[in-house]
Structure 1
Amino acid sequence: MAVSLHHIVVDAHDLPGLADFWCRVLDWRILSQKPREVVIGPDEFAPTGICFMPVSDRKTVKNRLHFDLAPDDQEAEVERLLALGARRVDIGQGDRVGWVVLADPEGNEFCVLRPKTSLISFRDAPS
Structure 2
Amino acid sequence: MVSFISHVTIDARDPYALSRWWSDVLDFAEDPDDPNLPEHEECLIQSADRVTKLLFIRVPEEKAVKNRLHLDLRPVADARDLELDRLRALGATEVDDRRTSDGLGWVVLADPEGNEFCILRSLAEVAAGQGPPTC
Bin of the TM-score, shorter chain as denominator length? 0.7 to 0.9
1:121 corresponds to which of 120, 127, 130:
130
**CA RMSD, Structure 1 to Structure 2 (Å):** 2.0
Equivalence map 1:7-18=2 (5 Å): 7-18=7-18
Taking structure 2 as the reference length, the TM-score comes to: 0.78
Equivalent pair of 2:79/2:125 in contact (CA under 8 Å):
no
1:1-127 alignment runs, 5 A limit: 1-31=1-31, 32=34, 33=36, 35-43=40-48, 46-71=50-75, 72-90=78-96, 94=98, 96=100, 98-116=105-123, 118-119=125-126, 120-123=129-132
Separation of aligned partners in 2, 1:7 and 1:115: 24
Give the AA of the match of 1:99: W
Identity of aligned residues (%): 43
Flag structure 2 segments of 5+ consecutive residues without an equivalent: none
SS in 2 for 1:20: helix
Give 5+ residue unaligned stretches, structure 1.
none
Identify, as 1 or 2, the structure richer in helix: 1
Q: Larger strand proportion, structure 1 or 2?
A: 1
Q: What is the aligned residue count?
A: 120
Q: Retained in 2: the 8 A contact 1:5–1:47?
A: no
Alpha-carbon distance between aligned partners in 2 of 1:112 and 1:122, rounded to the nearest angstrom: 16
